[in-house]
Amino acid sequence: MNIGLFTDTYFPQVSGVATSIKTLRHELEKQGHQVYIFTTTDPHIEKDVYERNIFRFPSVPFVSFTDRRIAFRGLLHAYQLAKELNLDIVHTQTEFSMGLIGKFVARAMKIPCIHTYHTMYEDYLHYVANGKILKPVHVKQMTLAFCSHLDGVVAPSERVIDKLSGYGVKAPIRVIPTGIDLEQYEPHEDELNVREKYHIPADAPMMLSLSRVAYEKNIKEVIDGFKTILKQLPTAYLMIVGDGPAKEDLEQQARDLGIDEHVIFTGEINNNEVSAFYHATNLFVSASDSESQGLTYIESLASDRKIVVKSSPYTDELLQDPQLGATFKTHDEMIEKMIYYLKHDKITDHTVLNQTLKQVSSETFGERIVDFYHDAQENYEEVHENSADAGNQ
Give residue-wise pLDDT tens across range 20-30.
999 999 999 99
Q: Please determine, for residue 131, whether its predicted confidence score (pLDDT) is greater than 60.
A: no
CATH number, domain with residue 347: 3.40.50.2000
* Average pLDDT of span 300-315: 94
* Average pLDDT of span 255-269: 97
122 & 61 share domain: yes
212 & 170 share domain: no
**Domain count of the chain?**
2
Band of residue 390 on the pLDDT scale cut at 50, 70, 90: low
331 & 385 share domain: no
Looking at the chain, the whole-number percentage of residues with pLDDT higher than 90 is 74
Q: Please determine, for residue 189, whether its predicted confidence score (pLDDT) is greater than 50.
A: yes
* Average pLDDT of span 366-380: 97
* pLDDT value of position 128: 55
Q: Please determine, for residue 311, whether its predicted confidence score (pLDDT) is greater than 70.
A: yes
Per the model's pLDDT, the better-predicted residue between 207 and 120 turns out to be 207
59 & 24 share domain: yes
Q: Please determine, for residue 251, whether its predicted confidence score (pLDDT) is greater than 70.
A: yes
- For the whole model, what pTM was predicted? 0.84
* pLDDT value of position 36: 98
Lowest mean pLDDT among 34-43, 108-117, 118-127: 118-127
61 & 123 share domain: yes
* Average pLDDT of span 261-277: 94
| pLDDT tens for each residue of 48-93 | 888 999 999 999 988 666 667 999 999 999 999 999 999 999 999 9
Average pLDDT over all residues of the chain: 92
105 & 204 share domain: no
* Average pLDDT of span 173-180: 93
130 & 208 share domain: no
264 & 283 share domain: yes
Q: Please determine, for residue 127, whether its predicted confidence score (pLDDT) is greater than 70.
A: no
Q: Please determine, for residue 129, whether its predicted confidence score (pLDDT) is greater than 50.
A: no
295 & 369 share domain: no
156 & 266 share domain: no
105 & 219 share domain: no
Band of residue 140 on the pLDDT scale cut at 50, 70, 90: very high
| CA gap 105, 92 in Å, rounded | 11
233 & 369 share domain: no
Domain span holding position 214:
182-356
Band of residue 150 on the pLDDT scale cut at 50, 70, 90: very high
